[in-house]
Chains A and B, each alone.
Chain A
Amino acid sequence: MLKIGVFVCWCGSNIAGTVDVKAVVEAVKAEPGVVFSTDYQYMCSEGGQSAIRQAIKEYELGGVVICACSPRMHETTFRKAAEAAGLNPYMVEIANIREHCSWIHKDKEEATEKAVVLCRAAIAKLNLNKPLFPGESGVVKRALVIGGGIAGIQTALDIADAGYEVDIVEKSPTIGGRMAQLDKTFPTLDCAACILTPKMVEAAAHEKIRLFTYSEVEEVSGYVGSFRVKIRQKARSVNRELCNGCGECIVKCPSKTASNAFDEGLSKRSAIYIPFAQAVPNLPVIDREACLRFQTGKCGLCEIACSAKAIDYEQEDETITEEYGAIVLATGYRPMSLDRYDEFQYSQSPDVLTSLEFERILNASGPTGGSLLRLSNGEKPKSIVFIQCVGSRSDDGCGKSYCSKICCMYTAKQAMLVKDKYPDIDVTVFYIDVRTPGKNFDEFYRRAAEAYGVRYVKGMVGKVAEWKGRLQVQAVDLLEDKQLLIDADMVVLAAAIEPDPGARKIGAMLAVNMDQNDFFTEAHPKLRPVESPTAGVFLSGMCQGPKDIPETVAQAGAAAVKVLGLLSKDKLVGNPCVAISDETLCNGCSSCEALCPYDAITFEEKQVMVQGRRETRRVAMVNETMCQGCGACTVACPSGAMDLKGFTNRQIMAEVDAICR
């Protein structure tokens, strides 16, 4: 029988405050296999680890149970300690008596009883453990960044500067993302384009970076160190080798009524277009939905205008397959739709805008050429009202529960820009709270309120109504406790941000979880904030949660560092807790193959010995490097042929039995 040692951690008062650790030590002494049990203040400390090593030698332990915090914290620590004493690291079991027990209980007697039960379960499992040995796999020295906004660009640049190849896949015709649409950036008010476009150019010119614009990730297979990704490059209808970017085609295009997404639909563009002046690559694309040639067959003016003969109406989507060692998700965000906020007249009045639309109005390359004008009549506004938290921090069922984080600051910025240019315009901001935690943020907001005379009113707007050609804002001032009626010419809504809807499909391909708001979930909220739960997949920028540009850039760099840590390895040590199929039990039904998220299971016809008889059967085979040990196959397998090493069905049943005893 396996000789087992049990080590119960106090974790200071974290555990010992609620669990009688001495009682746990005593209670498990009679469990099967237990030859030694003890407690210690901090098992994870050098002293605690050395106690484990000593006991393994002294009592010739074959396995140890550590009753401590979550295995996500210190499993590796204890495995290494056991290994140092000559034990196979997979002969270590953790009973989580902190997160699963002491932290969630108040009654010491109950908590102690539960700690004993959890420890018993770990002992029961350990009795069925077998030494496991991880395999190795190679690393493709190239990274893929999905999304070409500032997050993706920065990550790619950092990876490329370290000497590794990196590809950016961007679904729109240019890189640059949301930041390219912005006018100025807080809290320094430098021009967004002026600081972004050099990075766009640098990315395009970098010898280690390849750009796949107007492209989408179609399929991902493989695993950390060796992903195979199918990328679809949508047909631009323009030959990128021949085009010299002169723009003559755009001038000649007679179809100029397509909605311009770069201006948030506030202006029109031609069917063949370059999204904006500094677009990278400087390569037009034909919007086939808007193009007369594609819709009616009659036209072809761009082809005639093109001296480089670059127009290609026959061009088709191209699909390439490439291998990557790591993937970074930088899929970004969009402002949420305000369809369900009719009380603000958003869909009725052209003078009610989202903040991003207002940003375009402020921008010199925007629909008004940078002049602050009412879109309803082209006149200069006398009064502008900003409404914050439209859809953020919402419990009305229409919006988002979270704070979008950037709105307080960009609203202050927009208010300040208005006041700076037009001091005579009345500017009012309605807010729930003004949140300015960031370097120089609060000073910035106070400057808007104090130096520029932006009127900040604490309170929400109940309704915006059209009234005699203007907008009447009905609101409440919570501090003064009075109702307000403000005549405004423009109303700017700080719409909540939400993850780009395309992220969901990509998340599903990579088996990366999303939270209830569709933001990608990080592997650990504090300690692994740029890693996704899927090995080799990292997170950069808004796709993980709301953040401003400095934070995005910082996270982009952090993601790059994690990628570099991975790419700089020649071999990856695998996880030995992978699925294994018992061919004598396998029915060959393919249930596991259908649901394996990692394509790790294949089937083959094989000679199998069954009760002394040779039979040809269709049986499952597991690719151990591709298997991530999720265990989905073991649950689906009706005959119990699929099992997970380190978490076998019998081990789990033994745990349940020990708990129910």
Chain B
Amino acid sequence: MQRIIGKMREKAKELLEAGTVDAVLGWKKGDFAYDPTPAFFYSTDELDMLAYDGFCGSNLSKYLVEYGKEKGKVLVFLKPCDTYSLNQLVSEHRVDRENVYVVGVGCDGMLDVQKLRDKGIAGIEEIEEAGEDLRIHTLYGLKTCPRDEALLKKCQSCKGKEHKLFDDRIGAEESRDIANEDRFAEVAELEKMSPEERFAFWRAALSSCIRCNACREACPVCSCHTCIFDNARSGVDAKANASEFEENLFHIIRAFHVAGRCSDCGECSRVCPQAIPLHLLNRKMIKDIQSFYGAFQAGDSADQCSPLLSYSPDDIEPDAFDRWKGVM
């Protein structure tokens, strides 16, 4: 979607100049072709640094929580899947919808530089995104790679091209179709394991955690003013540091805290430097919620209530859990 950056800059300039917004939240060019980072832009002269390409996988919704405290209106560029997170934050009163001007931007599926590296593509200088193939200019010459082979994990099961909320859209109708994998396939594999095998799987996966907290910092709904793991009075922070096993529970507790709120944006796994498949914990929760309460997608709308927070006389009865044990 490099092709729409011009329109994005124009839009940002227009709204900043008109005073409609006080800031612009987007992605800023990085040191390399593949590392644009989230950034606020406060004046029109900064806008040449605004970037939008296949490496803008980060979900900007979360940054609006902190920004909201400064009480100004902000333009934010959101990909279709990012709008689910914003809806969720609006429903939780964490972001004031009135303070945000949402520009939905089209998306061709975001890229994972590691997948290019794994193909032996090194020394990347510039990447041209056009059509189904990536043209990668490297220190060692031009390389090509099919875009679908370099997609981020989270983009392999795309939630679709629809922006769930927006004030304006740029390039939305040009979004590319992505072959959609069953997002619960890996969860189903885990469910097939015996409890012992599954325990061993997660112990192995979580043991590589270095508690950098990147997953928490990137997660849109993990936006508590004070996380219980940072709160000395909770009694939980010290426990997590007490033993390796207790530390593993950080992720389990996090999964419970975001259950029914997680829109499955996949940021937790994307930002994990240890490549722990954290999204699987959330997807298991989502799968169970759907099997108990029917179709539910957190962030589908800002007005809906999570089935975990609501009661209806038609809700499943406790005996359903006995039947459910069969699939555990």
Residue ranges of A at the interface with B (Cβ–Cβ < 8 Å): 504-505, 508, 516, 584-591, 594-595, 597, 603, 610, 615, 617-618, 636, 638-640, 649-650, 653-654
Contacts and interface: CB of A to CB of B under 8 A. Distances in A.
Q: Which 3 A-B pairs have the closest CB atoms?
A: A589-B92, A639-B224, A594-B309
A160 B75 CA distance: 65
A591 B309 contact: yes
Interface stretch (B114-122, B149-157, B226-234, B273-281): B226-234
Given A516-B317, A585-B231, 16 more contacts: A504-B313, A585-B226, A587-B92, A587-B224, A588-B93, A590-B92, A591-B309, A595-B309, A603-B93, A610-B225, A639-B227, A640-B234, A650-B233, A650-B235, A653-B236, A653-B239
A584 B226 contact: yes
B223 A587 contact: yes
A505 B313 contact: yes
A636 B258 CA distance: 10
B122 to A, nearest CB: 42
Contacts, number: 68
Nearest to B225: A587
Contact of B313 (A508, A586, A594, A654): A508
A271 B322 CA distance: 48
A590 B318 CA distance: 25
Interface in B290-309: 305-306, 308-309
B287 interface: no
B306 to A, nearest CB: 8
Nearest to B221: A638
A589 B313 contact: no
B31 interface: no
A639 B226 contact: yes
A643 to B, nearest CB: 10
A584 B226 CA distance: 8
A587 B94 contact: yes
Interface string B256-291: 011001000000000000000000000000000000
Contacts of B313: 504-505, 508
Q: Which of A586, A595, A654 has the most CB of B within 10 A?
A: A595
A640 B93 contact: no
30 contacts: A504-B313, A508-B311, A516-B317, A585-B225, A587-B92, A587-B94, A588-B93, A588-B94, A589-B92, A590-B92, A590-B93, A594-B305, A594-B309, A597-B311, A636-B309, A638-B228, A638-B257, A638-B258, A638-B261, A639-B226, A639-B227, A639-B228, A639-B231, A640-B231, A640-B234, A640-B236, A650-B234, A650-B235, A653-B236, A654-B235
Q: Which of A504, A505, A617, A640 has the most CB of B within 10 A?
A: A640
A590 B309 CA distance: 10
B310 A595 contact: yes
B236 to A, nearest CB: 8
A615 B69 CA distance: 8
Nearest to A589: B92
A395 B305 CA distance: 39
Majority SS of interface residues in chain A?
Answer: mixed
B167 interface: no
B228 A640 contact: yes
Contacts of B319: 516
Nearest to A650: B235
Contacts of A516: 317, 319
A242 to B, nearest CB: 38
B311 A595 contact: yes
Interface residues of B, number: 28
Contacts of A654: 235
Contact of A649 (B93, B224, B226, B234): B234
Given A585-B231, A594-B310, A639 B225 contact: yes
A598 B236 CA distance: 29
A595 B309 CA distance: 5
Contacts of A588: 92-94
A638 B257 CA distance: 5
Interface string B77-108: 00000000000000011100000000000000
A266 to B, nearest CB: 31
A602 to B, nearest CB: 13
A214 B69 CA distance: 53
Q: Which of A594, A595, A638 has the most CB of B within 10 A?
A: A638
Interface string B233-262: 111100100000000000000000110010
B39 to A, nearest CB: 24
Nearest to A636: B309
Nearest to B312: A508
A618 B93 contact: yes
Contacts of A590: 92-93
Contacts of B309: 591, 594-595, 636
Contacts of A597: 311
Contacts of B311: 508, 595, 597
A591 B308 CA distance: 9
Contacts of A649: 234-235
Nearest to B89: A589
Interface string B196-235: 0000000000000000000000000001111110010111
Contacts of A650: 233-235
A597 B313 CA distance: 13
A588 B225 CA distance: 10
Q: Which of B92, B94, B310 has the most CB of A within 10 A?
A: B92
A475 to B, nearest CB: 34
A544 to B, nearest CB: 19
B76 to A, nearest CB: 20
Contacts of A589: 92-94
A610 B223 CA distance: 16
A187 to B, nearest CB: 38
A653 B246 CA distance: 13
Contacts of B224: 585, 587, 638-639
Nearest to A603: B93
Contacts of B228: 638-640
Nearest to A508: B313
A587 B311 CA distance: 22
A594 B304 CA distance: 11
Nearest to A586: B225
B67 to A, nearest CB: 14
Contacts of A610: 225
Contacts of B308: 636
Nearest to A505: B313
A654 B94 CA distance: 32
A595 B310 CA distance: 6
Contacts of A617: 225
B69 to A, nearest CB: 7
Contacts of A640: 228, 231, 234, 236
B283 to A, nearest CB: 19
Contacts of B93: 588-590, 603, 618
Nearest to B88: A589
Contacts of A586: 225
A524 to B, nearest CB: 20
A595 B313 CA distance: 14
A618 B92 CA distance: 11
Contacts of B225: 584-587, 610, 617, 639
A524 B317 CA distance: 22
Nearest to B254: A638
Nearest to B69: A615
A590 B223 CA distance: 14
Contacts of A615: 69
A505 B313 CA distance: 7
Interface in B148-190: none
Q: Which of B225, B233, B306, B310 has the most CB of A within 10 A?
A: B225
Contacts of B310: 594-595
A587 B69 CA distance: 13
Contacts of A505: 313
Nearest to B65: A587
Contacts of B258: 638
A198 B319 CA distance: 45
A6 to B, nearest CB: 24
